[in-house]
Structure 1
Amino acid sequence: MAALRRVARSGLAGVAGAAAGALSQFLLVVVVTRVYPVEAAGAFFTSVALALMVAGVAKLDAGNGLVFFIARARTYGYRGISGYVRAALVPVSVLATVAGVLLWPALGVLALVLPAMAVTDVLLAACRGFGAMRPTVLLDGLLLPLSQLALVAAVAVAGLSAASLPLAWALPYLPVAGLAALALRGRAPRTPYLTGTGRDLWRHTAPRSTAGAIQAVFQRLDIVVVAALGGPAQAAVYTAATRFKVVGQLAGQGLAQAAQPRLVRALAAGDLARVKEIYQVTTMWLVLATWPIWVGYAALAPWLLHVFGPGYVSAVPVALVLSATMMAATACGMVDVVLTAAGHTTSSLLNLVAAVVCTLLLDVALIPGQGALGAALGWSGGVLVKNALPLWQLHHRYGLRPFGRHSLAALRPRTWAAA
């Protein structure tokens, strides 16, 4: 129960930071859609989605690899752990820099911050491996999105053209990367480099690196595809209507970041009972935290979409698809996190490939005729595949289910009080 309470405390901190970040991102979209024409807004959202996609590929999922090795290294005093950190940062930095050079014609100023975007993610993940959620909450959850919102709003208030928006959005990544490096430096002990460190890290991480790249593409592909097939105006409408999905995704991410190191340790120790307890309790927390949001969004979508402007009210069907899909995905719990914590990185990769293929096929079939709604249906199909496959795999291999007798622990007042 003590470990579960620590997950609750860290998870709630992550969710709180995620909520603040989601609100900032929502307000940023409101500012852009209210001030700039729909075509200009769509072009900006598409370039940001492309930059985030490329940075997600360049980070090679090295952060999750570090969480895995740092969490396990606790048992032997973190011997050689600084070597793992260096082995993760070097290839990520090189790949992100090369990507920035190659994509300068397409991304412009956004290409310059690709290395900072990718490296920051790895540094904050390493902090979480040491059990420190605060840097992620403060830097990634608060400082970064709030700074982006402030600068984008300043550009809009000053009456500058939409061409200034990418610079305003990109600048905060530079100080955040520096602060993330300082946060890790204060926690990672300096240890001699052990032979084989890099080989061990990338042997474990390589399948997940491919999966992480596909996941990054999957998260942003819908906006880029709808812009390519339906035009920037449809991309703006789709981005606005689906902005609320960030709430559910970041809430799940905040809880997953807290639970992942403990899942790794429990699985390494063969403590399947503890894994089942963490999985079922966190699933119930996700449902309790997010289902009211999705029900409310579905009910209030005709009014909420007015916030973005009169041209965005047509996206009500997109909001309904989003709400239903996110409720189904949340009910599956942190299936992919549990699967990768158990070491099944190849299965996770294949699941993501299936999800992306499903999304692309549906997008190509539906977007030309249905526009933003077609993109929403394509994304929905991919999300359902992405969650259903690992759900079945976990049940087949370990007998794990998202709900069970441990779900009631999430409803106990003492659990929330401990959080």
Structure 2
Amino acid sequence: MAALTGLARGGAAGVTGATTSALAQFLLVVVVTRAFSAEQAGAFFTATALALMAAGVAKLDAGNGLVYFIARARSSDYQGISGYIRAALVPSVAVAMVATVALLPHLGLLALALPAMVAADILLAATRGFGAMRPTVLLDGMLLPAGQLLLVSVAAVVAAPGWLPVAWALPYLPVLLLAAGCLRGRVPRTRQLAGTGRELWRYTAPRSVAGAIQAVFQRLDIVIVALLGGPAQAAVYTAATRFKVVGQLANQGLAQAVQPRLVRALADGELARARELYQATTVWLVLLTWPVWLGYAALAPWLLRLLGSEYGSAAPVALVLATTMMVATACGTVDVVLTAAGHTTASLLNLVAATAITIALDIALIPAHGALGAALGWSGGMLAKNLLPLWQLHHRYGLRPFGRHSLAALRIRSWSAA
């Protein structure tokens, strides 16, 4: 029960940030679609999708590597943590700078934000490794989306579509500076210990490829719609599927809270505790997100018309989204459990399969069906991404997303920020 109580507090913090971020992102879409034409909105959504894809690739999944090593360390081992952080930051930021140069002709000033996006994500991951959820909630979950919404709204008021990408990117700078400040008091200043970089990247290398594919998987559909269907279809698809960020961020919020605990439990061979954590996060993920999906499926025609008359026809896209996300959330944080158990190569292969399915379905369906074809392609990949690791966890460890610990998790009342 103590493990569930700690998870509840951390999970509540993560979900609070996820809810705030999801609301701000939806309002941002409303502002953009109401203030600008579908072509202008689609161009903006495509540019930000490319930036997030590039940043996701450049991160090299170094943040999750830091969580793994910091969570496993005891207080006596913290002298080497600064070396791990430097070993994670330097190559990731270097890759981000290369991406900046490569994408500058296509993204303009937006490309300059890539190093800050990458560094901020890695530093916030390091704070989670120490068991602190508050920096991630306040900075990534609240400050960043609120700042983006505010500045994008200003660009909309002055009718300046060319400044939308800059307005969206600027809040990453204060997030980076504040994330660095949050780590300052936690990490002893020491020289990098011999072998820390090799140790970090030996674990992280397979996940770097998986993290890159995951970043592409999350945003590729928008880019493919823009290429095959045009920016207006990309705007319709982005608007209709924006609610998928609710499930993604709720999953992310719970995953960020449970990941260090899962790493410790599996490292210590405590399979029963890992099962308890997995089932607890799954039941809360379902309870938090299924009402959203059911409500969105029922209200989609009305909600989409709020974005503009041209978006009302995308209700079938919303139905595909809601159904798929209900299945995906019922699987729980499967990939987090799989990687916490050390099966990074299996996770990579799962993502490769999911991305291949998405691309194949998108190419086959988008030319004829536009945004709906993209939704069906994304759905196929999303189901593969969750059902494959679900089967692997059951086959290797007998882990299931629901069981006797599900009811125990529902009795936890202390959902307060960590």
Q: Normalized against structure 1, the TM-score is what? A: 0.98
Deviation at 1:164, TM superposition (A): 1.1
Are 2:191 and 1:192 equivalent residues in the alignment? yes
Task: Confirm or deny: 8 A CA contact 2:110 2:165 kept in the other structure.
Answer: yes
1:371 aligned to 2:370?
A: yes
- Note the C-alpha offset of 1:186: 1.9
SS in 1 for 2:188: coil
Aligned partner of 1:316 in structure 2 is: 315
Q: Which residue of 2 aligns with 1:21?
A: 21
**1 CA distance for matches of 2:343 and 2:248?**
22
Contact 1:73 1:79 in 2 (8 A): no
Cα distance between partner residues in 1 of 2:224 and 2:107: 16
Q: In the alignment, residue 120 of structure 2 is paired with which amino acid?
A: T
1:416, distance to aligned residue in structure 2 (A): 5.0
Which residue is 1:295 aligned to?
Answer: 294
Q: Which residue of 1 aligns with 2:399?
A: 400
Distance 1:417 1:261 in 2: 18
- The residue type paired with residue 393 of structure 2 is L
1:7-406 superposed matches below 5 A: 7-74=7-74, 76-160=76-160, 162-406=161-405
Identity of aligned residues (%): 75
Q: Secondary structure at the match of 1:77?
A: helix
Task: Return the offset for 1:417.
Answer: 8.2
Residue 220 of structure 1 deviates from its aligned partner by: 0.3
CA distance in 1, matches of 2:80, 2:154: 46
The size of the alignment, in residue pairs, is: 418
Read off the aligned partner of 2:236 and give its amino acid letter. V
Is the Cα contact below 8 Å between 1:294 and 1:326 reproduced in 2? yes
Query: Which amino acid is 2:163 matched to?
Result: S
SS of equivalent to 2:388: helix
SS at match of 1:30: helix
Tell me if structure 1 keeps the 8 A contact 2:266–2:340. Answer: yes
Please say which of residues 72-81 and 8-17 is displaced more in the overlay: 72-81
Deviations, residues 71-120 of structure 1 (Å, cap 9, x unaligned): 01126432411100000000011110111011100110111000000111
Which contiguous aligned blocks of 4+ residues in structure 1 show a shift greater than 4 angstroms?
413-419
Q: Secondary structure at the match of 1:60?
A: coil
In the aligned structure 2, how far is the partner of 1:342 from the partner of 1:248?
24
> Deviations along 1:246-295, whole A, 9 cap, x unmatched?
01110110010000000000000000000000000110000000000000
Question: What's the CA shift for 1:190?
Answer: 2.2
3-state SS of paired residue (2:73): helix
Q: Which amino acid aligns with 1:176?
A: V
Structure 2 residue runs without a partner (length 5+): none
Deviation for aligned residue 1:184: 1.2
Amino acid at match of 1:392: W
Q: Retained in 2: the 8 A contact 1:355–1:385?
A: yes
TM-aligned CA distance change 1:413 to 1:341, over 3 Å: closer
- Kindly state the Cα deviation for residue 414 of structure 1 after the two structures are TM-superposed: 4.2
| Alpha-carbon offset, residue 193 of structure 1 | 2.0
Q: Deviations over 1:112-153 (max 9, x none)?
A: 000000111100000000011111001000101000100010
